Chain A
Amino acid sequence: MTWVNAVIQGMLLGGLYALIACGLSLTFGVMRIVNLAHGDLAVCGAYLGLVLSSALGVPVWYTLPLLLPAAFAIGMALQVLLFGRALRHGVLAPVLVTFGLSVMIENLLQVAATSDPRGLNGGALALASFRLGSITVSWLFLAAFLAACAVLSGLQLLLSHTSWGRKVRATSDDPDTARLVGIKVRPVFATVAGIAIATAALAGVFIGTIGTFDPLTGTTILIFAFEAVVIGGIGSLWGTLVGGVVMGVTQVVVGEVNQAYAVLAVNLLFLAVLTVRPGGLFTSAQAAGEVRDAGALG
């Protein structure tokens, strides 16, 4: 029963990874930017939740109506001020700019909030659980998993059934042609960045409620998010969920044997997927081609 329990807990944890990763996947899919500050922006979301919930004296969930629009606005501003400009300087510039941003955020957080680990006030939900046979399921983990499913379905619906989604897909396929047929590319990019950062902030709130966070947590979050994206298959939203779940199950099952090897196992799983199926488990051929280099050509 321990193993069934481990698999279920791992699947729920995987939902959290997918929630972190979907913003990264979206930014890459549409703008061709790998945002190396994605994890740090998630941590910023957690700190913002901390500030708001302690100022208002309520559990962090009630601050989401304030927090998510704020994160959306920050994402749009970052796209307009930094990422969009970086894109005009070639393919390397976004990598360098987002890494520089990551260093800045981590150290600004150290200055503003010290490096003490913090946790968020999750209210009653944080401690509640229910029993499924002999397995105890935490409502909090289930909420994170359901939030990931909701965000992914929402994005999928938006992308495939709205005029905004059509614009995003057209821009993602070919920004120049999209511009020719009258799509205003910059607002499309700005809204996509806004959504990506808002999902990162939501993930940050869950991370902060489930465990603790400090200014340097961002790099770890980035690595997990990235692994989920690559394992699931670059460019596939549902693949990201599967990638997250595979990671979560690996981590919890190995952790059941020896906690020290849990993260190592996830990293090795990632490297193994990269060896055997570099395109990930579910991948669109186009997205894989964008990412895989011309090394095979030489």
Chain B
Amino acid sequence: MRRDTAIGSRDAEPSVTPVTVSRWSRTASAFTGVCVVAVAFGVAVPYVIGGPAEQPLITLLTFVAMGSLWNLLAGFSGLTSFGQQAYIGVGAYALYLIAEHGIDPFVGIIPAAVVAAVVSLPVSALVLRLSGGYFAVATLVVASTFQIIATLSPSVGGTTGVSVPGLAGYSDVLREALTYWATLAVAVISVAGVYLLVRRTFGLDARAVGSDPVGAAASGVRVGRIRLLAYVVAAGGAGAVGALIALQTLYVEPTSAFSIQYSVDMLFMVLVGGMGTIEGPILGALVLFALQETLSAYGAWYLVIVGGLAVVTTLVASRGLWGLASERLGWSLLPVGYRVRQPRTGTGPAEPRTPP
């Protein structure tokens, strides 16, 4: 993983001191180790702790997946979609239709994600013509259109909805454990997938597109392709999340499948955690989970706080909690940029700051 290169620095010093440019650091290696252990422990949860731990972890892991995927759109590519619930709904309904045809629902998660990605292709041709706030509202229109179509389709139960078939063969314990593992897998694949994607040239291109599309295009970035890729990947991921939610609730119904609440959650996690970082949405998911556990009894006040925190974070700490923390500590646990290290001269920082 370590990829260090020594280049000559152009300092005014008499002798040329080499600086090292590297992506990985000791902190990052340690954190990767922690992640591997955490995932291994996560896999073992149904054996070790069992049912009581599964439900809250399923919620948390669903948040992690949603946050990471939305971060790919809004944080890296500048596409603030408030209509990702369109693909969550499509994924949920696709899972129902796949299970209807006798395919095991747990196997159906993957085709459901593919269906959502395929549906997003023609939609992207329309909504990606707009940008900024207009793109945001256009995605809302798409989600609302999908919701109306589901409501008007008797084959998927219309307004009343349908329950997910094909699960009668599983005992409750096994079904819950399988749902948990599937959620864990989707969360890990979302985080790792987004991480690996933005480490490639795509990441740099996407951030260029996000901050200045015209400038990016002028520098030879293929803006349309970058946006399309981000949009389709995020839609596929949302489809997988939708399929998981259908498996968790065992029921698919238009109002909740296409609820704008999913967008509120995604926005909150990414903003409060830290936009455009890999760690941020995970931290944001933990914060949202903690808030939901402690405040959900207060009903609407909980959402007032969620909305308020999102506004305050944007205005006061636009880099989110992780931005603040990494600035303070100089950590980059899952680095996506490169860092330049001066040779240690006694006073030099052990962990220099990563360029944002």
Interface residues of A (CB under 8 A from B): 28, 33-36, 82, 85-86, 89-104, 106-108, 110-111, 219, 222-223, 226-227, 230, 234, 260-261, 263-264, 267-268, 270-271, 274-275, 278, 291-298
Contacts and interface: CB of A to CB of B under 8 A. Distances in A.
Given A36-B137, A93-B318, A99-B136, 9 more contacts: A95-B132, A96-B310, A96-B311, A99-B80, A222-B140, A274-B127, A293-B223, A297-B217, A298-B222
Contacts of B210: 92
B311 A101 contact: yes
B315 interface: yes
Contacts of A264: 145, 148-149, 152
A92 B310 CA distance: 13
B89 interface: no
A86 B315 contact: yes
B138 interface: yes
B271 interface: yes
Contacts of B340: none
B145 A96 contact: no
Contacts of A90: 211
A99 B82 contact: yes
B134 A91 contact: no
Q: Which 3 A-B pairs have the closest CB atoms?
A: A34-B133, A103-B307, A298-B223
Nearest to A106: B303
Contact of A292 (B78, B130, B152, B226): B130
Given A103-B303, A295-B224, A95 B311 contact: no
A293 B151 CA distance: 33
Nearest to B302: A107
A275 B122 CA distance: 11
A106 B304 CA distance: 8
Interface in B107-158: 125-138, 140-142, 144-145, 148-149, 151-152
Contacts of A104: 303-304, 307-308, 311
12 contacts: A82-B311, A93-B315, A99-B80, A99-B264, A101-B311, A103-B306, A223-B137, A267-B148, A274-B126, A274-B138, A293-B213, A297-B217
Contacts of B260: 219
**How big is the B interface, by class?**
35 or more
B7 interface: no
Contact of A111 (B74, B125, B301): B301
Nearest to B222: A298
Contacts of B127: 274
B354 interface: no
Contacts of A97: 311, 314-315
Contact of A96 (B80, B227, B300, B308): B80
A234 B145 contact: no
B214 interface: yes
A130 B216 CA distance: 59
Interface of B: 74, 78, 80, 82, 125-138, 140-142, 144-145, 148-149, 151-152, 209-211, 213-214, 216-218, 221-227, 260, 263-264, 267, 271, 299-301, 303-304, 306-308, 310-311, 314-315, 318
B142 to A, nearest CB: 8
A125 B53 CA distance: 60
State the main secondary structure of chain A at its contact with B.
helix
A28 B135 CA distance: 13
Contacts of B267: 96, 99-100
B122 to A, nearest CB: 10
B300 A100 contact: no
A91 B224 CA distance: 19
A183 B130 CA distance: 31
B134 A291 contact: yes
Contacts of A91: 78, 132
Contact of A223 (B144, B264, B299, B306): B144
Nearest to A103: B307
B315 A34 contact: no
A101 B131 CA distance: 20
B92 to A, nearest CB: 20
B214 A33 contact: no
Given A93-B314, A110-B300, A274-B126, A226 B141 contact: yes
A125 B226 CA distance: 55
A295 B223 CA distance: 5
Contacts of A291: 130-132, 134
Interface-central residue, A93, A96, A108, by most chain B CB under 10 Å: A96
Nearest to A230: B134
Nearest to A265: B148
B299 to A, nearest CB: 8
Given A36-B136, A100-B310, A104-B304, A92 B217 contact: no
B121 to A, nearest CB: 14
Nearest to B223: A298
Contact of A261 (B82, B152, B263): B152
A276 to B, nearest CB: 11
Contacts of A33: 133
A292 B304 contact: no
Contacts of B133: 28, 33-36, 94-95, 98
B129 A278 contact: yes
